[in-house]
Amino acid sequence: MSAVAERILRVLEELANSPEGMTLSELTAVLGMPITAVHRLLGDLIEQDYVRKDERRGEFTLTMKLPSLGLRFLSAGGVVDIAQPILERLAVISGELVRLAIVDGEQLVYVAKAQGAREGLRYDPEMGRPVTLSCSAAGISWLAGKSDEEVMRLVSAQGFGLPANFGPSAPTTFKTLLPLIETARKNGYATTQDMFLPAMSSLATTVTIGNGDVGALLIIAGPMSRLTHEKMKELLPALLSTAAELSEASSVSPVMRRASI
């Protein structure tokens, strides 16, 4: 990859993580690049309609052009059309947030959701962001299908989800993470509490594709006050049967099939 292309992608990634916008000085500090270089890259992205500038506040934000490309890709691949009604049904059963994360190379990315909570606290993290493997039920469930060596390589590359940024029980060492992964291997699913976010629970299992490779993760998430250990056990059959349904339906989606390659 050329240096210019890499810099452009870094700018886009930082802006994608800051929907409220970033100033030129903030971007420069985060990227560690000369201010003139960042300014020039932003100018090119504005010219191509990927970025806009709020002249009053001096902040740069992404336009909808980049997100729309991703949505068009998912739509053309049939992921949302196939998954959405299935996710909606599980959301009604669980009364909580249901998400689908696609395997994208060596990371997981949320691509679809259905909200089952009609009142009270609603858990709804942003879509499109990579899943933090070390402190999420989806990440732990996916890592359970890999060797310990591969687990350590993938988590080391991404970094641990530190409790200050996630939940107080987020693992910070392989000594605490590997037993969670081993439990997920034995059970065929993973659960977390107080890990991805404080006072939040999640339950996840894999969605297989074609030859049995994992192409996606199915997740139920919600506040611990509702999604207790007992409630997660109660919802487990519905989660597993829905994952099986998605596995069967995914054969018609080229995006889902490619996820296992």
What CATH number should be reported for the domain holding residue 220?
A: 3.30.450.40
Sign of the alpha-carbon dihedral angle for 7, 10, 14, 19: positive
Q: Give the pLDDT of residue 164.
A: 86
Longest pairwise C-alpha distance within the chain: 57
Same domain, 13 and 80: no
Same domain, 78 and 43: no
Q: List the CATH number of the domain containing 58.
A: 1.10.10.10
How many domains are there within the chain?
2
Predicted TM-score (pTM) of the model is 0.72
pLDDT-above-70 percentage for the chain: 84
Contact between residue 129 and residue 140 where contact means Cβ atoms under 8 Å apart: no
Same domain, 199 and 233: yes
Confirm whether 68 is domain-assigned.
no
Tokens linked to 148: 């310990």
Same domain, 164 and 54: no
Same domain, 168 and 240: yes
Q: Which of the residue ranges 24-28, 109-113, 123-127, 148-152 would you say has the lowest mean pLDDT?
A: 123-127
Same domain, 128 and 49: no
Q: What is the mean pLDDT of the chain?
A: 86
Sign of the alpha-carbon dihedral angle for 90, 92, 95, 100: positive
Same domain, 40 and 81: no
| 119 backbone dihedrals φ, ψ, rounded to 5° | -155, 170
**In terms of residue numbers, what domain contains 31?**
3-63
Q: Give the pLDDT of residue 260.
A: 46
- Per-residue pLDDT averaged across 35-47, rounded? 92
Residue-wise pLDDT for 67-125, tens only, equals 666 655 555 545 566 788 899 999 999 999 999 998 888 889 888 889 886 654 444 55
Cα–Cα distance measured from residue 89 to residue 67, given in angstroms and rounded to the nearest whole number = 26
Confirm whether 109 is domain-assigned.
yes
Same domain, 216 and 145: yes
Confirm whether 214 is domain-assigned.
yes
Same domain, 118 and 37: no
Same domain, 43 and 78: no
Q: Give the pLDDT of residue 176.
A: 96
Same domain, 30 and 148: no
Residues 6+ away with beta carbon under 8 Å from 157 = 106
User: Which residue has 């009270």 as its token pair?
Assistant: 120
Selection from 46-55, 101-110, 142-151 with the highest mean pLDDT: 142-151
* Residue 220: pLDDT over 70: yes
